[in-house]
Amino acid sequence: MPIYHTLGNIPHKRHTQFRKPDGTLYAEELVSTEGFSSLYSLVYHAYPPTIVKELGEPYSVEPKIAREKHLKHTSLIGFNIKTEDDYLQSRKPVLVNSDLHISLAAPRKSMTDYFYKNSQADEVIFIHEGTGTLKTGFGKLKFEYGDYLVIPRGTIYQMQFDGEQNRLFIVESFSPIRTPKRYRNQYGQLMEHAPYCERDIKRPTDLETHDEKGDFKILIKKQGLIYPYIYGTHPFDFVGWDGFHYPWAFSIHDFEPITGRVHQPPPVHQTFEGHNFVICSFVPRKFDYHPLSIPAPYNHSNVDSDEVLYYVDGDFMSRKHVVKGQITLHPGGIPHGPAPGSVDKSIGKESTEELAVMIDPFRPLMLTEDAVNIEDGDYYKSWIF
């Protein structure tokens, strides 16, 4: 999110001497994206961020593909993913392609004995259940139900949960996550017609400098492998930083719906974008107000993209028998639409209370073994009268 932010102490000019009270230098680090051509931040550490004491053997967390090619409307019962204590072990990739991985997670415990860094992807973590704090060197971000946590690649973090009942919907993007271009002016500011603005963005607060030496385990993900690193200093030793590259959060409850006289297409719900995919938010809203409007969505042929819908909460007007955490995948190549009876039933209704996250990728998604294990095999028959 292109908003300048700063916390802690920084020198008056960048790339100049910045000394500790004892006269030694703080360690400056440039954290940059797309080489030196996109967003970056300057970080000032108590110690150089390069002190590696030990390297462990990497291990694979590559998704295990069960169905590479398919043309079948699919439903996954997401809350059937089992809870696990460990945060990383609880993350189960279910739908993947070369642009993004979609995972479900139900961790019970906070991260206490290690830190995590995804070096291959930006992460968008949607908080379906649970509250807590995302802890990074940039500061703290408190999260709750409905928050999207946007964590740029290369950010070392820990998830601290307030309780053991946590459900997460996670998108790993191999391109930067951005706000939709059509909502921004030439200077990057969100414009008046955008469904949210900078006031809605939660930025890190409460910078704590951990001036500590010791053995600090950081699990780093790169190209489908986890590399165990032991660093000699605490990764959250930032004394100050400034720039545009840092984790941030946005609540789905702050998304202001765009409505019209007739049914509006999915792009009005767009919240974020990556390369070859978009993320949309369906929120409670007034229905169309043309006297002959049909609130239910029309049948749609996905010609160029798959469509993924993650059901969060509320009453879903277009489909019966929906449960929280359910995922539907409508692959490109065949039409889909409202369930039988939903069209007539929607006429005359004035509003909906549905809450959902939608992802439209422009490359076909593959199903993993974890996805097949929670699949509702008869979903494709749900349009039979």
Give pLDDT tens digits for 194-219.
999 999 999 999 999 999 999 999 99
Read off the amino acid at residue 170.
I
Indicate the pLDDT class of residue 261, thresholds 50, 70 and 90. Answer: very high
The pLDDT confidence band at residue 318, using thresholds 50, 70 and 90, is low
Name the CATH topology of 54-63+82-234+246-252: Jelly Rolls (2.60.120)
Give the total residue count for the chain: 385
Does the structure show a pLDDT above 90 at 2? Answer: no
Annotated active-site residue 128? The verdict is no
- Of these residues, 15, 193, 210, 263, which one is catalytic? 263
Q: Specify the pLDDT at position 345.
A: 87
- Inter-residue contact 115 to 138 (CB < 8 Å): no
Average pLDDT, the chain: 95
Helices (H), the chain: 87-90, 342-346, 369-372
Q: Is the pLDDT of residue 154 over 90?
A: yes
Q: What is the pLDDT of residues 48-77, one digit of tens each?
A: 999 999 999 999 999 999 999 999 999 999
pLDDT of residue 1: 61
CATH fold match for the domains 54-63+82-234+246-252 and 256-381:
yes
Dist. CA 151–CA 226, nearest whole Å:
18
Domain boundaries, the chain: 54-63+82-234+246-252, 256-381
Residue 316 has pLDDT above 80, yes or no: no
**378: annotated binding-site residue?**
no
Which pLDDT score, from 0 to 100, does residue 361 have? 97
Q: Facing residues of 125 across strands? A: 149, 170
Residue 51 in tokens: 């002190």
Any known ligand binding at 5?
no
Q: Tens digits of per-residue pLDDT, 76-87?
A: 999 999 999 999
DSSP assignment of 321-379, as one string? S--TTEEEEE-TTSEE-PPTTHHHHHTT--EE--EEEEEEESS--EEEHHHHTTEETTG
Query: pLDDT at residue 32 above 90?
Result: yes
Higher pLDDT, 133 or 348: 133
Tell me the mean pLDDT in the region 298-309.
Answer: 92
The C-alpha torsion from 328 through 331 and 333 to 338, rounded to 10°, is: 10
**Is 113 annotated for ligand binding?**
no
Q: Is the pLDDT of residue 317 over 70?
A: no
Q: Which CATH architecture has domain 256-381?
A: Sandwich (2.60)
